[in-house]
Structure 1
């Protein structure tokens, strides 16, 4: 590994390294502060120079009640920060409780509890409105380019972790990923054979990169240019630490998914090899220069911050590989770049917070050339119109009018109302999410959606052979007090008795819940998974890949995992609110399907029913008329369902037989050969209905 004293000798990272070390070692720098007051000051360093402005922030440590003073100088003076904001200061306060942030030292993180994607930060330089929409909206839809890019990523990553991959291996893997993505291919309207051809054509480049960078001798490794100050370096990948590594860094208010985390042997002109950790970003698109290249560079730089936090060491370089040109670029992190990126991250966090509170987005870009090709053009213009925007304010002229002319005031009001309601619900859930990395733990609440002080179960039931199944890995956790007992069955039974003072699990977590797995007491987020089994003494979580601790060696990995204390929190988000917003905005698009839904849901057009149905020729209707267990109200309700062209709403007080009515309605619809989706706000309601259907000997496909 490259030691900190070695790194500090390098001119490109000296200040950045010192700042990293100091912020990592001093406890106070990890505390969040409440901004009490912001004032702007002026000073004149030299009589012949113009006055310099700087900001002074009066801060409160809400945990200790102590106040601090922070000065923002140079570029940081332009930071958007106001009383009531929460900030994180990466730097040291002196004995008088003062700290200064300038272009040479320290960092300011505004709203650190808003974890912003590194990709969003990098993309926000060209349009902050698009970045906010990317964060607030999520769909299950794929574009053809994005889908093919995902498949190429999977192939490249499979080759990276494969021992000496061959052309035949990648060809076979291409067929595997293609078969798994057939549904998405058809949804995008992409031809399967054309996609397969694209994947096969990429294999020589993928294989050449892997062989050149991973399996060659260091002396023969490719030479990568890391910039004018750092020069060319020969790079050899000595180990692939992880692929698709989830990295959350509340310290910087950042999150990201890193294509590949590499242990790299670096040899510069001094011929002294060094071991470094680097992120590798893999790009499959054709854009390799201009604005796109700047965004890609920024993305890699932010990933070095994420990995520095995750691996608890300075990471100052990254790799960027463009498949289209088959070129690999070295990225060197400089403090001046980080200052600009962190400040942009702070601005984006402000924009996201404002959008969640007032539903106001950053202004439109007003650039017809860029806006016409934007994936959010329809959504962006609808939001602009709904919140009082004008044609002149859009900067798009007749293009804007053509996209929103169908919207009425009633439509605008509906969108505003439900957009706000979604944000209010998201705000309630976000309080729980922040507990995962904040110092205010929920563990004192017996029925909180989390479990703490856990260790991996080492009993017979948790042998490694039971860990993996297909592409899923299941890990069993028990409370650390369990380790004081034996691993025999009688000890496990004793755990459920009152003889042993061992903590039992009391939590609102349930089977099927999405969860986040983190370490204690550091609070480092390690993985996300799903609860697959839970009892009063243990919990089992299924992960998509093997559990590993960042920075742990292969030889000590198993021991480190078992010595680690763990915490499991319910992942309340999983993009659900972003999906809600996406589905809401779909109602207002200008197409036939959206128009029909808009008439039904927003305009409250009366639903249509088939009045000319030949009852005698419909076995479903004949069945309902002949079913003696139905009363007249239930029969009329089911007939409404069977004759509905749009929808039917069945209302009834508790205990009036709504569930029983639905059982017979499902049975009648099945007689027509219909496919039926059953859903409810609660699992118990669905379970109750399924049990009654099972009693009727009706075949059920359980999609859960």
Structure 2
């Protein structure tokens, strides 16, 4: 065995990355200096978007400045139009919650237009302006000899980078080329934009430093600094990459990775600081974990009455429920998270053989297009000899999440979902443009001129960037939505101080889901009976569907419609919604797939019903089929303990009186239906009418076709098995 040189990790050489395949966000690492527990909880759960005027305003300014940077246009007209577009495109839900209209928010933001124009005229140019100086009031500054800077170009906006080398991931606000004066060096560095106050400068500096590692890994550079800009005070900082700070940050990253690696749901200790904890965004999750998972109490929390106020409503049933489901989610999440690393640790040939990857793929530019809300890219085999292998033979199907990388090892050039896959091509929808590999310009010099091809500029000008890349397309099996599951359970347990209606709604949900109390129904409703006897309803609904309508319209909590295949679930729900709308009610409509939702909305449009994705949480309708394929569960213990059981199954088993069956189907004739009815549906399926029951396939040229088959056959058994199968008689 050949003797290798030793790897030295000390204060001056290299870094030790623990669990490198667990990618920790740079933001979480930076935040962990104040509370490691908070960072772990942020990684474990999906944070609910907060609605406040300062947060909304900050996001509008942030997106506007990014747009102006990307387009190199800081005119007042462009800034004004961009602000209006961002408000209408990204924040209509926020305005609804804040009870604010678009013009009011824009009026509030108008004073910032001048500041954005000033930033552009001062810092964005081909050579540094004299007034484009660096702020030096806090902390060490990179390039002490630098007097002024200029942002010469933008390589990317919101660059999403995965770096298994450092065990980090992050979304960089902008990747810029910065010229320094008087040296005239051009550096490629991360640019971090902040619209708030500078009171969290330490955290922001740490985040910027970590981004230098990410971009250094992606662009093949030793990036020594990053830029940090505050819009409110027009402060432009150059943040150096100091080795001592990098060491501290990577130690913090390793601590987070170790905490996340544990299957026990154990968390770092609480901060026990009332002044910090009462303003923490994850305090509800923190307290619930402490009392339910860690068996803590008011004394161990160190937060006194404030802790008690947030958890005193949780009884033993709630604590047991939380413990049970958080444990099962953790088991399944651990098993699936371990699969993501296969994208960068397992060879593409092996992944493709397992049906989880397509290797050696190229773009078909003529099929690529921009659509509302996304970008569609179509890929095909790079080599003609590979085209014989059909893409449909894999385990990749429409709707699957995909990660796009290059065959040369450039990880995560894009992430999206499969739109369509056929024998020779696959189309993937991305929310952002597909990034190419970083390509150095002809004038590139690693010391003095770190200039790359501006692929985004080419795209904006309607030109094609260099797409001579072969890609590997990997199914992202770790995208299981476990963060959302944990967040939902935490929210179910949360008591929101000062929001009485929300607390009442959550208490009612705990009564129904945690305590499994029976749902309530009203007695006969004359209005319902009258509606069901209208001619339009009488002719389009069968007895089961009418019973389902009556059940739903009488429910106070929930009703369960168990509809087997082809039994008219969509038609029934459309009629229910029509009735509810006529009663002046609002309806929250959800579905597992966009296709199912679109089918229902089409029926509502035919009825002339307007719809908006807002609803009433006081009443919900669950529509499903408990006989359908159960969720795929990887962890055997999680499966044994009920993780494969849906909420629909759990409620229908506990309260059969809340269930209405739709058993009359309109898709299969009697003979075909009897097979599936006996095998899967406990012989409950019925044909909706005689036409459906007796329906047969009619072949226009059946006798001629059979004669031709027999004429070319050397021998054929009598009777002919093919005729017996195909003959509709």
Q: Check the 8 A contact 1:447/1:506 in 2, yes or no.
A: no
Looking at structure 2, the residues matched to 661 and 520 of structure 1 have their Cα atoms a distance apart, in angstroms, of 46
The worse-fitting range, judged by mean Cα deviation, of 639-648 and 251-260 is 639-648
Q: Check the 8 A contact 2:51/2:97 in 1, yes or no.
A: no
SS of the residue 1:177 aligns to:
helix
1:345 to 240, 253, 260: 253
1:105-134 per-position Cα deviation (integer Å, ceiling 9, x unaligned): 111111111111101100011011111121
Q: How does 1:300-699 map to 2 (within 5 A)?
A: 300-354=208-262, 357-387=263-293, 388-441=295-348, 443-446=350-353, 448-457=355-364, 461-462=366-367, 467-469=369-371, 472-482=374-384, 501=388, 504=391, 506-552=393-439, 553-554=452-453, 561-572=466-477, 576-590=481-495, 591-614=503-526, 618-620=530-532, 626=538, 630-631=542-543, 635-651=546-562, 659-660=567-568, 663-673=571-581, 686=596, 690=599
Write 1 or 2 for the structure with the bigger share of strand. 1
Please report how far the alpha carbon of residue 236 of structure 1 lies from its aligned counterpart in structure 2 after TM superposition.
Answer: 1.0
Give the equivalent residue in structure 2 for 1:223: 133
SS of the residue 2:43 aligns to:
helix
Residues 666 and 560 of structure 1: CA distance in aligned 2, closer, same or farther (over 3 Å): closer
Please report how far the alpha carbon of residue 665 of structure 1 lies from its aligned counterpart in structure 2 after TM superposition.
Answer: 4.7
Structure 2 residue 143 is matched with structure 1 residue 237: no
Size of the aligned set, in residue pairs, is 578
Q: How does 1:167-316 map to 2 (within 5 A)?
A: 167-180=76-89, 181-190=91-100, 192-215=102-125, 217-218=127-128, 220=130, 222-224=132-134, 227=140, 230-233=143-146, 234-267=148-181, 271-286=182-197, 288-289=198-199, 292-316=200-224
Q: Check the 8 A contact 2:206/2:249 in 1, yes or no.
A: yes
1:173-223 per-position Cα deviation (integer Å, ceiling 9, x unaligned): 111111222222222455644432332221222221121111263363623
Residues 529 and 211 of structure 1: CA distance in aligned 2, closer, same or farther (over 3 Å): farther
Looking at structure 2, the residues matched to 604 and 617 of structure 1 have their Cα atoms a distance apart, in angstroms, of 30
Looking at structure 2, the residues matched to 626 and 242 of structure 1 have their Cα atoms a distance apart, in angstroms, of 60
Residues 447 and 671 of structure 1: CA distance in aligned 2, closer, same or farther (over 3 Å): farther
Looking at structure 1, the residues matched to 540 and 332 of structure 2 have their Cα atoms a distance apart, in angstroms, of 44
Looking at structure 2, the residues matched to 400 and 343 of structure 1 have their Cα atoms a distance apart, in angstroms, of 31
SS of the residue 1:108 aligns to:
coil
Residues 646 and 342 of structure 1: CA distance in aligned 2, closer, same or farther (over 3 Å): same
Please report how far the alpha carbon of residue 503 of structure 1 lies from its aligned counterpart in structure 2 after TM superposition.
Answer: 5.9
Q: Check the 8 A contact 2:407/2:470 in 1, yes or no.
A: yes
Please report how far the alpha carbon of residue 413 of structure 1 lies from its aligned counterpart in structure 2 after TM superposition.
Answer: 0.7
Q: How does 1:40-189 map to 2 (within 5 A)?
A: 95=3, 98-144=6-52, 145-180=54-89, 181-189=91-99
Residues 133 and 623 of structure 1: CA distance in aligned 2, closer, same or farther (over 3 Å): farther
- Across the aligned residues of Structure 1 and Structure 2, the Cα RMSD in angstroms comes to 3.4
Q: Check the 8 A contact 2:375/2:430 in 1, yes or no.
A: yes
TM-score by length of 2: 0.72
Looking at structure 2, the residues matched to 117 and 201 of structure 1 have their Cα atoms a distance apart, in angstroms, of 34
Structure 1 unaligned regions, length at least 5: 1-65, 67-93, 486-494, 496-500
Residues 415 and 440 of structure 1: CA distance in aligned 2, closer, same or farther (over 3 Å): farther
Q: Which has the larger radius of gyration?
A: 2
The worse-fitting range, judged by mean Cα deviation, of 272-281 and 198-207 is 198-207
Q: Check the 8 A contact 2:193/2:228 in 1, yes or no.
A: yes
Looking at structure 2, the residues matched to 442 and 580 of structure 1 have their Cα atoms a distance apart, in angstroms, of 34
Q: Check the 8 A contact 2:26/2:169 in 1, yes or no.
A: yes
Please report how far the alpha carbon of residue 544 of structure 1 lies from its aligned counterpart in structure 2 after TM superposition.
Answer: 3.4
SS of the residue 2:402 aligns to:
strand
Q: Check the 8 A contact 1:448/1:507 in 2, yes or no.
A: yes
1:141-161 per-position Cα deviation (integer Å, ceiling 9, x unaligned): 333233222211111001112
Q: Check the 8 A contact 1:382/1:588 in 2, yes or no.
A: yes
1:367-400 per-position Cα deviation (integer Å, ceiling 9, x unaligned): 0111111122222212211121111111101111
Give the equivalent residue in structure 1 for 2:663: none
Q: Check the 8 A contact 1:225/1:232 in 2, yes or no.
A: no
Q: How does 1:6-21 map to 2 (within 5 A)?
A: none
Please report how far the alpha carbon of residue 415 of structure 1 lies from its aligned counterpart in structure 2 after TM superposition.
Answer: 0.7
Looking at structure 2, the residues matched to 624 and 164 of structure 1 have their Cα atoms a distance apart, in angstroms, of 58
Q: Check the 8 A contact 1:620/1:672 in 2, yes or no.
A: no
1:486-535 per-position Cα deviation (integer Å, ceiling 9, x unaligned): xxxxxxxxx6xxxxx56645333333433221111314211223333332
Please report how far the alpha carbon of residue 344 of structure 1 lies from its aligned counterpart in structure 2 after TM superposition.
Answer: 0.6
Please report how far the alpha carbon of residue 622 of structure 1 lies from its aligned counterpart in structure 2 after TM superposition.
Answer: 6.2
Residues 589 and 272 of structure 1: CA distance in aligned 2, closer, same or farther (over 3 Å): closer
The worse-fitting range, judged by mean Cα deviation, of 391-400 and 661-670 is 661-670
SS of the residue 1:106 aligns to:
coil
Structure 2 unaligned regions, length at least 5: 440-451, 496-502, 614-729
Residues 193 and 651 of structure 1: CA distance in aligned 2, closer, same or farther (over 3 Å): closer
Q: Check the 8 A contact 1:248/1:306 in 2, yes or no.
A: yes
Give the equivalent residue in structure 1 for 2:668: none
SS of the residue 1:244 aligns to:
strand
Residues 166 and 420 of structure 1: CA distance in aligned 2, closer, same or farther (over 3 Å): same
Looking at structure 2, the residues matched to 642 and 159 of structure 1 have their Cα atoms a distance apart, in angstroms, of 52
Looking at structure 2, the residues matched to 134 and 507 of structure 1 have their Cα atoms a distance apart, in angstroms, of 35
1:596-642 per-position Cα deviation (integer Å, ceiling 9, x unaligned): 111111111221101142257641476799569635x6654442222
Please report how far the alpha carbon of residue 275 of structure 1 lies from its aligned counterpart in structure 2 after TM superposition.
Answer: 1.3
